Amino acid sequence: MRAPAIEVRGLNKRFGSVTAVDGISFAVPEASTCALLGGNGAGKTTTLAMLLGLLLPSSGSIRIMGVDMIKNRYPALSRMNFTSPYVDLPHRLTVKQNLDVYARLYGVRHRAACLRSLAERFDLDALMNRAYGSLSAGQRTRVALAKALLNEPEVLLMDEPTASLDPASADTVRTLLKAYQEKSGATVLLASHNMQEVERLCDNVLILKQGRIVDRDTPAMLVQKYGRDSLEQVFIDIARDQDRQSA
Protein backbone atom coordinates (compact mmCIF):
# COMPACT_ATOMS: atom_id res chain seq x y z
CA MET A 1 0.00 0.00 0.00
CA ARG A 2 1.29 3.44 -0.92
CA ALA A 3 1.43 6.05 1.81
CA PRO A 4 -1.23 8.77 1.59
CA ALA A 5 -0.08 12.09 0.15
CA ILE A 6 -3.37 13.68 1.22
CA GLU A 7 -5.18 12.77 4.45
CA VAL A 8 -8.47 14.39 5.44
CA ARG A 9 -10.31 13.51 8.65
CA GLY A 10 -13.70 14.77 9.81
CA LEU A 11 -13.52 17.90 7.68
CA ASN A 12 -16.32 20.42 8.14
CA LYS A 13 -16.97 23.87 6.74
CA ARG A 14 -19.93 25.99 7.75
CA PHE A 15 -20.93 29.40 6.44
CA GLY A 16 -23.34 30.66 9.06
CA SER A 17 -26.27 28.22 9.08
CA VAL A 18 -25.15 26.54 5.84
CA THR A 19 -22.94 23.44 6.01
CA ALA A 20 -20.92 23.27 2.80
CA VAL A 21 -18.72 20.32 3.81
CA ASP A 22 -20.09 17.87 6.34
CA GLY A 23 -17.57 15.64 8.13
CA ILE A 24 -15.76 14.12 5.15
CA SER A 25 -12.74 11.81 5.51
CA PHE A 26 -10.56 10.42 2.75
CA ALA A 27 -6.98 9.63 1.78
CA VAL A 28 -5.27 9.93 -1.61
CA PRO A 29 -2.25 7.61 -2.04
CA GLU A 30 1.04 8.94 -3.37
CA ALA A 31 1.41 8.96 -7.15
CA SER A 32 -2.31 8.45 -7.75
CA THR A 33 -5.05 10.57 -9.30
CA CYS A 34 -8.34 10.98 -7.46
CA ALA A 35 -11.51 12.77 -8.57
CA LEU A 36 -14.02 14.74 -6.54
CA LEU A 37 -17.40 14.41 -8.24
CA GLY A 38 -20.70 16.01 -7.40
CA GLY A 39 -23.28 18.47 -8.63
CA ASN A 40 -23.06 22.21 -8.15
CA GLY A 41 -22.99 23.00 -4.44
CA ALA A 42 -21.82 19.53 -3.44
CA GLY A 43 -18.71 20.93 -1.71
CA LYS A 44 -15.96 20.16 -4.21
CA THR A 45 -14.50 23.65 -4.60
CA THR A 46 -14.84 24.36 -0.87
CA THR A 47 -12.90 21.18 -0.11
CA LEU A 48 -10.09 22.13 -2.50
CA ALA A 49 -9.95 25.63 -1.01
CA MET A 50 -9.50 24.17 2.48
CA LEU A 51 -6.74 21.85 1.26
CA LEU A 52 -4.92 24.87 -0.12
CA GLY A 53 -5.42 26.90 3.03
CA LEU A 54 -7.57 29.51 1.27
CA LEU A 55 -10.40 28.66 3.68
CA LEU A 56 -10.05 27.56 7.28
CA PRO A 57 -12.12 24.49 8.21
CA SER A 58 -14.76 24.78 10.89
CA SER A 59 -13.36 21.51 12.25
CA GLY A 60 -11.37 18.47 11.18
CA SER A 61 -7.81 17.86 10.04
CA ILE A 62 -5.82 18.02 6.79
CA ARG A 63 -2.36 16.59 6.23
CA ILE A 64 -0.55 16.87 2.90
CA MET A 65 2.78 15.10 2.48
CA GLY A 66 2.76 14.71 6.27
CA VAL A 67 2.33 18.46 6.88
CA ASP A 68 -0.51 19.69 9.10
CA MET A 69 -2.13 22.20 6.73
CA ILE A 70 -4.16 23.89 9.46
CA LYS A 71 -1.36 24.51 11.95
CA ASN A 72 1.53 25.21 9.54
CA ARG A 73 0.87 24.77 5.82
CA TYR A 74 3.90 26.68 4.54
CA PRO A 75 6.38 23.76 4.35
CA ALA A 76 4.00 22.00 1.94
CA LEU A 77 2.90 24.92 -0.23
CA SER A 78 6.12 25.14 -2.25
CA ARG A 79 5.67 21.48 -3.17
CA MET A 80 2.07 21.97 -4.31
CA ASN A 81 0.23 23.87 -7.00
CA PHE A 82 -3.31 24.30 -8.23
CA THR A 83 -5.46 25.52 -11.07
CA SER A 84 -9.04 26.76 -11.07
CA PRO A 85 -11.20 28.76 -13.50
CA TYR A 86 -12.42 30.71 -10.46
CA VAL A 87 -8.95 32.10 -9.66
CA ASP A 88 -7.73 34.58 -12.27
CA LEU A 89 -4.26 35.92 -13.02
CA PRO A 90 -3.48 39.67 -13.25
CA HIS A 91 -5.09 40.91 -16.47
CA ARG A 92 -2.64 43.71 -17.30
CA LEU A 93 0.45 41.54 -17.16
CA THR A 94 1.46 39.58 -20.23
CA VAL A 95 1.37 35.81 -20.13
CA LYS A 96 5.16 35.75 -19.88
CA GLN A 97 5.16 38.28 -17.02
CA ASN A 98 2.52 36.31 -15.14
CA LEU A 99 4.41 33.06 -15.46
CA ASP A 100 7.69 34.75 -14.51
CA VAL A 101 6.15 36.26 -11.35
CA TYR A 102 4.86 32.86 -10.22
CA ALA A 103 8.13 31.19 -11.13
CA ARG A 104 9.90 33.63 -8.81
CA LEU A 105 7.35 33.06 -6.04
CA TYR A 106 7.93 29.31 -6.26
CA GLY A 107 11.71 29.74 -6.41
CA VAL A 108 12.00 28.08 -9.83
CA ARG A 109 15.55 27.82 -11.10
CA HIS A 110 16.36 28.52 -14.75
CA ARG A 111 13.13 30.45 -15.17
CA ALA A 112 13.63 31.37 -18.82
CA ALA A 113 14.19 27.75 -19.84
CA CYS A 114 11.20 26.66 -17.77
CA LEU A 115 8.92 29.21 -19.42
CA ARG A 116 10.11 28.22 -22.91
CA SER A 117 9.39 24.58 -22.15
CA LEU A 118 5.90 25.32 -20.82
CA ALA A 119 5.10 27.60 -23.77
CA GLU A 120 5.98 24.80 -26.15
CA ARG A 121 4.06 22.11 -24.25
CA PHE A 122 0.89 24.20 -23.90
CA ASP A 123 1.11 25.94 -27.30
CA LEU A 124 1.57 29.38 -25.75
CA ASP A 125 4.36 30.78 -27.95
CA ALA A 126 2.04 33.16 -29.81
CA LEU A 127 0.48 34.33 -26.53
CA MET A 128 3.51 35.01 -24.35
CA ASN A 129 3.65 38.76 -25.08
CA ARG A 130 -0.10 39.31 -24.97
CA ALA A 131 -1.89 40.72 -21.94
CA TYR A 132 -3.58 37.92 -20.00
CA GLY A 133 -6.81 39.93 -19.93
CA SER A 134 -7.00 39.89 -23.73
CA LEU A 135 -7.09 36.08 -23.95
CA SER A 136 -10.10 33.89 -24.61
CA ALA A 137 -11.41 31.62 -21.85
CA GLY A 138 -9.74 28.59 -23.43
CA GLN A 139 -6.40 30.38 -23.77
CA ARG A 140 -6.57 31.45 -20.11
CA THR A 141 -7.18 27.83 -19.12
CA ARG A 142 -3.99 26.75 -20.92
CA VAL A 143 -2.00 29.51 -19.21
CA ALA A 144 -3.39 28.52 -15.81
CA LEU A 145 -2.36 24.91 -16.42
CA ALA A 146 1.15 26.00 -17.39
CA LYS A 147 1.31 28.03 -14.17
CA ALA A 148 0.22 24.96 -12.21
CA LEU A 149 3.23 22.96 -13.42
CA LEU A 150 5.86 25.70 -12.98
CA ASN A 151 7.33 24.24 -9.81
CA GLU A 152 6.90 20.58 -10.82
CA PRO A 153 4.51 20.01 -7.89
CA GLU A 154 4.38 16.80 -5.92
CA VAL A 155 0.70 17.45 -5.15
CA LEU A 156 -1.51 19.07 -7.77
CA LEU A 157 -5.03 20.27 -6.97
CA MET A 158 -7.27 20.99 -9.96
CA ASP A 159 -10.76 22.44 -10.26
CA GLU A 160 -12.27 21.81 -13.72
CA PRO A 161 -8.83 21.57 -15.41
CA THR A 162 -10.12 21.53 -19.00
CA ALA A 163 -12.98 24.01 -18.62
CA SER A 164 -13.53 26.20 -21.73
CA LEU A 165 -11.28 24.07 -23.93
CA ASP A 166 -12.47 22.65 -27.23
CA PRO A 167 -12.42 18.82 -27.41
CA ALA A 168 -9.10 18.62 -29.24
CA SER A 169 -7.34 21.03 -26.85
CA ALA A 170 -8.87 19.29 -23.84
CA ASP A 171 -7.60 15.93 -25.09
CA THR A 172 -4.10 17.38 -25.52
CA VAL A 173 -4.16 18.79 -21.98
CA ARG A 174 -5.29 15.45 -20.52
CA THR A 175 -2.44 13.73 -22.34
CA LEU A 176 0.03 16.24 -20.91
CA LEU A 177 -1.36 15.86 -17.39
CA LYS A 178 -1.27 12.07 -17.59
CA ALA A 179 2.31 12.13 -18.87
CA TYR A 180 3.36 14.56 -16.12
CA GLN A 181 1.76 12.46 -13.40
CA GLU A 182 3.34 9.24 -14.64
CA LYS A 183 6.79 10.81 -15.08
CA SER A 184 6.89 12.78 -11.83
CA GLY A 185 4.93 10.48 -9.54
CA ALA A 186 2.82 13.46 -8.50
CA THR A 187 -0.43 13.04 -6.60
CA VAL A 188 -3.41 14.69 -8.28
CA LEU A 189 -6.80 15.58 -6.82
CA LEU A 190 -9.23 17.05 -9.31
CA ALA A 191 -12.82 18.21 -9.35
CA SER A 192 -14.52 17.78 -12.69
CA HIS A 193 -17.90 17.52 -14.37
CA ASN A 194 -16.33 15.76 -17.35
CA MET A 195 -16.85 12.06 -16.73
CA GLN A 196 -14.76 10.94 -19.71
CA GLU A 197 -11.90 12.97 -18.26
CA VAL A 198 -12.32 11.27 -14.90
CA GLU A 199 -12.46 7.79 -16.42
CA ARG A 200 -9.31 8.49 -18.40
CA LEU A 201 -7.22 10.15 -15.69
CA CYS A 202 -8.36 8.88 -12.30
CA ASP A 203 -7.53 5.82 -10.22
CA ASN A 204 -10.23 6.57 -7.65
CA VAL A 205 -13.38 8.65 -7.34
CA LEU A 206 -15.06 10.34 -4.37
CA ILE A 207 -18.70 11.26 -4.94
CA LEU A 208 -19.97 14.22 -2.93
CA LYS A 209 -23.60 15.10 -2.32
CA GLN A 210 -24.71 17.95 -0.03
CA GLY A 211 -21.24 18.14 1.49
CA ARG A 212 -20.92 14.43 2.28
CA ILE A 213 -19.11 11.58 0.57
CA VAL A 214 -21.85 9.20 -0.53
CA ASP A 215 -19.70 6.72 -2.48
CA ARG A 216 -16.10 6.03 -3.39
CA ASP A 217 -14.35 3.49 -5.61
CA THR A 218 -12.51 3.13 -8.90
CA PRO A 219 -14.36 4.42 -11.98
CA ALA A 220 -14.83 0.87 -13.28
CA MET A 221 -16.19 -0.43 -9.96
CA LEU A 222 -18.66 2.45 -9.66
CA VAL A 223 -19.98 1.74 -13.15
CA GLN A 224 -20.35 -1.93 -12.22
CA LYS A 225 -21.91 -1.18 -8.82
CA TYR A 226 -24.65 0.99 -10.32
CA GLY A 227 -25.22 -1.32 -13.28
CA ARG A 228 -24.50 1.40 -15.81
CA ASP A 229 -22.44 1.69 -18.97
CA SER A 230 -20.46 4.79 -18.03
CA LEU A 231 -19.50 7.02 -15.11
CA GLU A 232 -21.63 9.78 -16.61
CA GLN A 233 -24.72 7.60 -16.17
CA VAL A 234 -23.72 6.94 -12.55
CA PHE A 235 -23.34 10.68 -11.99
CA ILE A 236 -26.82 11.33 -13.45
CA ASP A 237 -28.36 8.63 -11.24
CA ILE A 238 -26.92 10.20 -8.12
CA ALA A 239 -27.88 13.74 -9.20
CA ARG A 240 -31.48 12.66 -9.92
CA ASP A 241 -31.68 10.93 -6.56
CA GLN A 242 -30.56 14.21 -4.95
CA ASP A 243 -33.25 16.12 -6.89
CA ARG A 244 -35.93 13.68 -5.65
CA GLN A 245 -34.77 14.01 -2.06
CA SER A 246 -34.81 17.82 -2.31
CA ALA A 247 -38.32 17.90 -3.84
How high is the pLDDT of residue 13?
98
β-pair type (204-209, 33-37)? parallel
How high is the pLDDT of residue 245?
46
How high is the pLDDT of residue 240?
79
Q: How many residues does the chain have?
A: 247
How high is the pLDDT of residue 97?
98
- Domain 1-77+156-166+187-247 sits in CATH at 3.40.50.300
The structural domains of the chain, with segments of one domain joined by +, span: 1-77+156-166+187-247, 80-152
User: Each residue's pLDDT tens digit in the chain (247 positions)?
Assistant: 678 999 999 999 999 999 999 999 999 999 999 999 998 889 999 999 999 999 999 999 999 999 999 999 999 999 999 998 878 999 999 999 999 999 999 999 999 999 999 999 999 999 999 999 999 988 998 999 999 999 999 999 999 988 878 888 889 889 989 999 999 999 999 999 889 899 999 999 999 999 999 999 999 999 999 999 999 999 999 887 754 444 3
How high is the pLDDT of residue 244?
41
How high is the pLDDT of residue 197?
92
How high is the pLDDT of residue 1?
62
How high is the pLDDT of residue 53?
92
